[in-house]
Structure 1
Amino acid sequence: MRILIVHNILWAHYKSSVFQAIQQLADQQPNVMVNVLQIARNERSRASLETINDPSVPTYSYNYELLFDRFLEDVSLRERTNALLRRASAFKPDVITLTGYYDPAQIFLLLWARTKGIRVILQNESTATDHQRGGWKERIKQWIFSQCSGFFCFGSQSADYLIQLGVQPDKILLRKSAVDNNALRVAYERALSSRIKEQQVLALRPNNFVFVGRLIGYKNLPLLLSAFAEAQKQSPLADEWGIILLGDGVEKNSLIEQINTLALTDSVHILPGRPWFEVPDVLAMSNVLVLPSSSEPWGLVVNEAMACGLPVIVSDRCGCAPDLVHEGKNGFVFTYDQPDQLTQLMLRFIDGDVDVAEMSFWAQKLIAPYAPDVVAQEMLNGYKYILTK
């Protein structure tokens, strides 16, 4: 079995951990070969997080080819198409995994594979609610999906979206997404020893809600700040709690204005974005992750936080909510446009009405099935399944 995986960028560490796990499984089995085609080095929007030649960066080992050592936006459609067709033809795969339906170059590769009798599995992150759906775009997707033999989905919501568009349920081969749980947990535990010292250096509160991600509109951060401001008014323990916003983005200045208007300058801190393997340093200064997005296909930061043992508060627009958040066990889900709901959930932590230690235990336990080795095994099972149909 010859498996060819197409992916957009080399920088995506969360995919690299899964690719390494697939490679390790393939190396243990006769007649299984894996190759990953990374189209470009990175995207411009993530350039500041590049860690090239940094010896402290966790590395992953698997067979791959980097087609273009530049930003994805600088690679033309013609270049992408020609390179993918050339390398696929040379590798002679039995099955190809495509990274999504939105790149015309990969659709050309799909059509080429169909003429050669090669099975194609499409990865899907999208859900029915992460964007406004309808019209001719949905009809094009339906046609693309009809050409595929199977699908790897980020979770149950992305699988449900495909089924709504006519995909047979038995073609859904995976409903999970993973990050490097072990690496994150090790970094988190290492950082915990200096939690108090680092909080004092940054003038943080002893307890903190934390958001990790880009400071952009659909992350719904104004609602988070408003909900927290209201929680502060309602609890006598409010002075013990703050918010950390970890990230950069176009909304930063407007968020600073809101922080000033709400008189939250002493309790809310914006820290610049950092590479994924340094995120646990900030999680170690925090108590609860909040992801309030109004649109979010999945929300990998929830995986990261749970791997570190943090309870989570997640909006109902996050794709991961039904799969990862077990109400009252490891966290809570709120309606994305209802700040009062978020306020009440934050108050439960501020006032000590939840058992954080118990929630931490369940966070780590519930994220264990979303580890790279587990996801890789399910993917390999999926490849074998469609090749025997």
Structure 2
Amino acid sequence: MRILIVHNMLWAHYKSSVFQALQQLVDQQTDISVLVLQIARNERSRASLESNSYESTPTYMYKYELLFDRYLEEVSFRERAQALLRHAKAFRPDVINLTGYYDPAQLLLLVWAKVNGIRVVMQNESTAADQQRGGWKEQLKRWVFSQCDGFFCFGSQAADYVIQLGVPSSKILLRKNAVDNNVLQSVYNQSLPSRTQQQQVFGLRPNNFVFVGRLIEAKNLPMLLNAFAEARKQSKNGTDWGIILLGDGTEKANLTQQISTLGLTDQIILLPGRPWFRVPEVLALSNVLVLPSRSEPWGLVVNEAMACGLPVIVSERCGCAVDLVKNGQNGFVFNPDQPEQLSHLLTQFMDGLVDTNRMGEAARQIIAPYAPEAVAQEMLNGFIKITN
């Protein structure tokens, strides 16, 4: 069996860890080979997070070809289509895994595969809740999905969305998403001993909630700041807690102004984004991750925080909430349109009414099956299933 995987970006580390695990499984077989076609180096919007300049950047080993050594936005439809078809014809796959249904060049590859009797697995990370759905786009998706033989979905909500569009549940081959748990845990553990010292360097409180991600409207950060301001008033320990916002984005200036207006410049700190493998350095300065998004197909930062043993407070609009957050065990889920719910949860942590150590241990146990090795094994099982 010859497996061809099409992926947008070489830089997507969380996929690279899965591809490496898949390569290791394939190398144990004599009749299976795999090749990953990386269309571009990165997306322009994520360029600031590229980690090429860091000597400690983890490297991943798997068979791939980088089609265009530039940003994805700079690669035209014609270039993508010609390159994908040329490489697919040369590789002669038995099954193709496509990144998504939104790229016309990959849809063209889908049609080519169907004409030539090649099986197709479609990746889906969208959910019914992450944005408004309807109209001709949904009808197009129904047709595209009807042409596919299987689906790798980012969690239960993504799988449910595919099923709503007419896909039999038997075609759902994967319902997980993974990050490199081992690397994240290692960096976190190395950073913990200097926690107090680093908190003093950054002017942080001894206890902190942390947000990691782009500072954009969909992340719902103004609501988080208002909820924290209210919780600070309600909690007897309000002055011992702060918030770390780790990331960059278009809303940075507005958030800075809001922090000033709330009178919380000494408790809410903005730190610039950093490569993924250095995020645990900031998680080590924190107690609880908060992801308040109004729209979030999955939320890989929740995987990252749980791998490091942090409790999580996650919006119900995040795709990972159903699969990863067990209410009261490793964290809590809340309605992002009801700030009083978030204020209450923040207050609970501030007042010590939540056993963070127990929740952190539960987080590690819950995230363990969401490891690259487990996801790769399920992918391989899926490829074998549909080709047989």
TM-score normalized by structure 2?
0.99
Q: For 1:328 and 1:355, locate their aligned partners in 2 and report how far apart those are by CA, in whole Å.
A: 10
User: Corresponding residue for 2:173?
Assistant: 173
After superposition, the C-alpha distances for 1:47-77 in whole angstroms (9 at most, x for unaligned) are: 1111225321000000000000000011000
Aligned pairs for 1:1-389 within 5 A: 1-52=1-52, 54-388=54-388
Cα offset for 1:380?
0.3
Q: For 1:16 and 1:274, locate their aligned partners in 2 and report how far apart those are by CA, in whole Å.
A: 18
Q: Secondary structure at the match of 1:138?
A: helix
After superposition, the C-alpha distances for 1:257-310 in whole angstroms (9 at most, x for unaligned) are: 110111111100000000000000000000000000000000000000000000
After superposition, the C-alpha distances for 1:311-352 in whole angstroms (9 at most, x for unaligned) are: 000001000000000000000000010000000001111000
Q: What is the CA RMSD across the aligned residues, in angstroms? A: 0.5
Q: For 2:263 and 2:100, locate their aligned partners in 1 and report how far apart those are by CA, in whole Å.
A: 44
Q: For 2:359 and 2:190, locate their aligned partners in 1 and report how far apart those are by CA, in whole Å.
A: 21
Q: Among the aligned pairs, what percent are the same residue?
A: 70
After superposition, the C-alpha distances for 1:159-217 in whole angstroms (9 at most, x for unaligned) are: 00010010000000000000000000000000001100000000000000000000000
Q: For 2:53 and 2:238, locate their aligned partners in 1 and report how far apart those are by CA, in whole Å.
A: 43
Q: Which amino acid aligns with 2:293?
A: S
- Runs (4+) of structure 1 exceeding 4 A deviation are none
Q: Secondary structure at the match of 1:296?
A: coil
TM-score normalized by structure 1?
0.99
Q: Which amino acid aligns with 2:97?
A: T
Q: For 1:101 and 1:267, locate their aligned partners in 2 and report how far apart those are by CA, in whole Å.
A: 43
Q: For 1:76 and 1:266, locate their aligned partners in 2 and report how far apart those are by CA, in whole Å.
A: 47
Q: Which runs of 5+ in 2 are unaligned?
A: none
Aligned length: 388
Q: Secondary structure at the match of 1:81?
A: helix
